Chain A
Amino acid sequence: MEQQTTKTYDWGKGKVNKYYNRNINQMQPNTVEAPVMELQEQSKATIEDQIRGYLNPALQKAITSLKKQKDYSRRYVDVDVPSRGVDPESAWYKNAKRNLDVGETYARSAVSNNYLSNVAKQTSEQYDRYLNRKAQYDLTNASNALNTEEFNAKVKDALEEMIYERSVRRARGKF
Chain B
Amino acid sequence: MATATGQAPVSQNSGGNWGNSRFNKYYNRYLNDIPLNTINYNAVSTPDQSVDELAAEVAAYLDPQINTTEKNLRRQMRNNYNDIDANGASKGMSRSTWVTDEKGAIYNAGMDALADAYSNYNSALASGVSERYENYLARRQGIDEQNARNQLEADKYNSQVKTAQEQLAYKRAANAYNWTKPKKSKGGGDNGGNNDLVPWLTSKGKTVLMKPEKRRMSGQSSGL
Q: Are A118 and B126 in contact (CB under 8 A)?
A: yes
Bound-state CA distance A175–B70 (Å) is: 90
Q: How large is the interface on B (under 10, 10 to 19, 20 to 34, 35 or more residues)?
A: 35 or more
Given contacts A103-B108, A175-B173, contact A136 B118 (CB under 8 A): no
**B194 proximal to A (CB < 8 A):** no
**A157 proximal to B (CB < 8 A):** no
Q: Are A33 and B155 in contact (CB under 8 A)?
A: yes
Q: Are A27 and B81 in contact (CB under 8 A)?
A: no
Given contacts A32-B156, A54-B129, contact A114 B13 (CB under 8 A): no
Q: Are A107 and B134 in contact (CB under 8 A)?
A: no
**A170 proximal to B (CB < 8 A):** yes
Q: Are B118 and A26 in contact (CB under 8 A)?
A: no
Bound-state CA distance A68–B177 (Å) is: 96
How many interface residues does A have (CB within 8 Å)? 78
Q: Are B152 and A170 in contact (CB under 8 A)?
A: no
Chain B residues whose C-beta falls within 8 Å of the C-beta of A28 in the assembled complex:
11-14
Residue of A nearest to B177 (CB): A175
Chain A interface (Cβ < 8 Å from any Cβ of B): 1, 19, 22-23, 26-39, 50-51, 53-55, 57-59, 61-62, 65-66, 69-70, 72-73, 76-77, 80, 83-85, 92, 96, 99-100, 103-104, 106-108, 110-111, 114-115, 118-119, 121-122, 125-126, 129, 133, 136-137, 140, 144, 147-148, 151, 155, 158-159, 162-163, 166, 169-170, 174-175
Q: Which 10 A-B pairs have the closest CB atoms?
A: A54-B55, A62-B118, A175-B174, A114-B119, A107-B115, A32-B155, A107-B111, A35-B148, A30-B159, A118-B126
